[in-house]
Structure 1
Amino acid sequence: MIFRPLLLAGTALVLSFAAQAAELRGTGDLGVVVERAVGQVAVVDRRASTRLATVAGLGDLSHASVVFGPSERYAYVFGRDGGLTKVDVLTGTIDRRVVQSGNSIGGAISEDGTLVAVANYEPGGVTVFDAETLDLVADIPATSIGDGKRSKVVGLEDAPGNRFVFSLYDTDEIWIADFSADRRSPALTRFEAIGRQPYDALVSEDGRWYIAGLFGEDGLAMLDLWHPETGVRRVLDGYGRGQEALPVYKMPHLEGWAVAGGKAWLPAIGRHSVLVVDLDTWEQVAEIPVHGQPVFVMARPGGRHVWVNFALPDNGTVQVIDTERLAVADTLEPGPGVLHMEFTPRGDRVWLSVRDRDQVQVYDTETREKLATLPADKPSGIFFTSRAHRIGL
């Protein structure tokens, strides 16, 4: 008789824990989709292909980007209006928000996850915040260009050693801000005359190379972050020389570059082609004709294929390149306004934002079969929490 109440109490305790467990979830399957026209993000479950929550009040997201803290719980959303918003993806709420400039163009999070940096057009420079509180930690003004103005900052990337690397569009520079010794007074290293009008940049997955695309001339500027004392050197200098330049309808995004098969795959500015570069020599080894002017050139994890989307008037098409044959293997027509692609961490699926159909479409990367369609209000960037553990994203 004395055991019956204990058994009932134990059963109730187990049921209580089971109920709590049913309410708990991890962050590994989560991500956010930017709904640019209405200033909000959708929190999504990438495995179930479902929408979990909507977080509104994020300001101008017409050119928004997102990074994640190391726990994967917090997404830092960089708005075009200078807004920096810390979003809790587990609760679907805003944790903190600051408006830190008049016009910004993306950001990065430090190696240790404690600092968030923002690249600013107005006023030109980089501002750095505490990732927990969003309190200002450092303000790095860019080079003056006269009349009280400073150069626009672009291509802000994180690098190993709690460093941020960025380019100055108007003054043709690359800077390194090193926070490893003092988080409030970083050591700055400047490189001048690196090439005309750097417009975007990337850091290689191993954290060694910072590469800035140049809008003012054909070529790329490359800095060895293992040996910055060697300075900036030019690669792919004069690619496309002798060809007629086309109007540029949308600047390609170098953060969406691909590494596959020991080669780098890069969008050519103003050309209907993808450039293939040998990673040992940094020389071009192929140029693959594609449907239009590429915007994102992204490798499916594993490197077997590279997926490409395009600027107007060809932004309803996505092409898949076979990295072994160096040729287009498939062409998809998801609909007008394909703005971004995001692969699941192991590459079994890819999510596409199709702005002009107000959809996010999910595809099987092997069969290219469409698996799901989610409603979204003018979607653009798609960001999964797995980005928290990759350099340069």
Structure 2
Amino acid sequence: MKKLLPFLALLISVNAAADPRATGDLGVVIERENGNALIVNTTEHKRLAKIEKLGDLSHASVVFSHDERYAYVFGRDGGLTKIDLLKDAIDKRIIQAGNSIGGAISQDGKLIAVSNYTPGGVKVFSADTLELVADIPADYGSGQRSKVVGLVDAPGQRFVFSLFDAGEIWIADMKNPKAPVLKKFKDTGKQPYDALVSPDGRYYIAGLFGEPGLALLDLWNPEAGVKHILSEFGKDDDKLPVYKMPHFEGWSVAGDYVFAPAIGQHKVLVIDKNTWDLHGTIDVAGQPVFVMARPDARQIWVNFAFPDNNQVQVIDAKDLSIVKTLSPGKGVLHMEFTPRGEQVWLALRDDDSLAVYDTETLQEIARLPASKPNGIFFSSRAHRIGL
């Protein structure tokens, strides 16, 4: 046996060196109907592995550990799965609720928070072991419990989230994770349905489904309370059917402007970030879902709800004009830029594929197979606030 040990050590070393892998150019693609996740290499445009049996991924989202080794997948069925991107394997999986809508990782990378519809509230887990650290029920009124949406991480070891049914925004200070300190803002608007935090972590903005406008909370000055902005936009317009709710985490801050989808309208809103007034609107091909800025903020890419979800439009953030309309395929559900923005990946659900575009030439440069993809998440998200 002793004679075999040096040989086994050499064999392990050779195998490990045969396919060395770092994590900076890895990503996770969700296959919604099969409950699988693909691990991809964004530089080489390769599928590396498929992780199976992750439950209901019809509304899945992903965050990454600080070292980019682990991906945490939030499933609609309340599943929370920790994936080891180097071993192509599930590290741990738990069912933490009955209906989950997403999650976030704390500023220090030690806590994973999950927002839940059923039971309504936020649960916080150890990022290392997935053991429960804190349970924050979203109780309001007379024994009622709200669905929780718009959960993001914020500087100061905080999580911020909205209560859909209660019309409230809460801040959870997690410096002592076993005893969260909650600050609650009531009467923030009717039915906040999703939210974002600005890239610098200062502003939390919640969209309101039940009334016109947005709810804005300055996290540098929370004592000022929640401010309503754009309350007059669309107030007197005819109510249109909404085929797919826009996603706030796909909204964009570029230069002095915030680019956001108008609910149920074929428009992108351009909001002055300094005054929070409406600067103007851009007419687009359909009802926008994701309005995403390239990392250098020069381009804004927009995809759409059915029946226009075979198109993507590219907006010049300087001229506020559409520079090109692309037809990459059927069912464009999600987009993700590479860290420096030279490429963008598109999930084409109804074409069972991923399309990769060069953002300078606006030409397709690669296509990979994927079964009903609906979410693309790159490991560079580990170093960005609010994703």
TM range (shorter): over 0.9
Aligned counterpart in structure 1 of residue 178 of structure 2, from 181, 184, 199: 184
Whether the aligned pair in 2 keeps the contact of 1:85 and 1:98 (CA below 8 Å) is: yes
Aligned counterpart in structure 1 of residue 119 of structure 2, from 119, 123, 136: 123
Task: Between 242-251 and 81-90, report the one with greater CA deviation.
Answer: 242-251
Q: Is the alpha carbon distance of 1:16 and 1:142 closer, same or farther for their aligned partners in structure 2, counting shifts above 3 Å?
A: closer
Task: Indicate yes or no: 2:366 matched with 1:372.
Answer: yes
Q: Is the alpha carbon distance of 1:364 and 1:129 closer, same or farther for their aligned partners in structure 2, counting shifts above 3 Å?
A: same
CA deviation vs aligned residue, 1:352-372 (integer Å, no higher than 9, x gap): 000001000000011111111
Task: Indicate yes or no: 2:308 matched with 1:314.
Answer: yes
Whether the aligned pair in 2 keeps the contact of 1:145 and 1:170 (CA below 8 Å) is: no
Aligned counterpart in structure 1 of residue 328 of structure 2, from 329, 334, 355: 334
| CA–CA distance in structure 1, aligned partners of residues 254 and 182 of structure 2 | 33
Residue 145 of structure 1, CA deviation: 6.0
| CA–CA distance in structure 2, aligned partners of residues 35 and 15 of structure 1 | 35
Give the match's secondary structure for 1:255.
Answer: helix
Give the match's secondary structure for 1:330.
Answer: strand
| CA–CA distance in structure 1, aligned partners of residues 13 and 210 of structure 2 | 62
Task: Indicate yes or no: 2:263 matched with 1:269.
Answer: yes
Aligned counterpart in structure 1 of residue 223 of structure 2, from 229, 233, 237: 229
What is the aligned partner in structure 2 of residue 279 from structure 1?
A: 273
What is the aligned partner in structure 2 of residue 350 from structure 1?
A: 344
CA deviation vs aligned residue, 1:164-215 (integer Å, no higher than 9, x gap): 00000001000000011x1111000000000000000000000000000000
What is the aligned partner in structure 2 of residue 5 from structure 1?
A: none
| CA–CA distance in structure 2, aligned partners of residues 378 and 299 of structure 1 | 24
* Matched residues, number: 379
| CA–CA distance in structure 2, aligned partners of residues 153 and 16 of structure 1 | 47
Please list every run of 5 or more consecutive structure 1 residues that lacks an aligned counterpart in the other structure: 1-12
What is the aligned partner in structure 2 of residue 8 from structure 1?
A: none
What is the aligned partner in structure 1 of residue 386 from structure 2?
A: 392
| CA–CA distance in structure 2, aligned partners of residues 97 and 15 of structure 1 | 31
- For residues 1-393 of structure 1, the aligned pairs below 5 Å read 20-144=16-140, 150-180=145-175, 182-393=176-387
Q: Percent identity?
A: 63
| CA–CA distance in structure 2, aligned partners of residues 62 and 19 of structure 1 | 37
Give the match's secondary structure for 2:380.
Answer: helix
| CA–CA distance in structure 2, aligned partners of residues 37 and 73 of structure 1 | 25
| CA–CA distance in structure 2, aligned partners of residues 16 and 35 of structure 1 | 32
| CA–CA distance in structure 2, aligned partners of residues 261 and 166 of structure 1 | 25
| CA–CA distance in structure 2, aligned partners of residues 210 and 378 of structure 1 | 32
Give the match's secondary structure for 1:37.
Answer: coil
Task: Between 271-280 and 256-265, report the one with greater CA deviation.
Answer: 256-265
Whether the aligned pair in 2 keeps the contact of 1:358 and 1:378 (CA below 8 Å) is: yes
Task: Between 194-203 and 20-29, report the one with greater CA deviation.
Answer: 20-29
Give the match's secondary structure for 1:44.
Answer: strand
Residue 237 of structure 1, CA deviation: 1.3
Residue 242 of structure 1, CA deviation: 2.8
When the two structures are superposed, what TM-score results if normalisation uses the length of structure 2? 0.95
Please list every run of 5 or more consecutive structure 2 residues that lacks an aligned counterpart in the other structure: 1-8
CA deviation vs aligned residue, 1:135-158 (integer Å, no higher than 9, x gap): 000000012466x75110000000
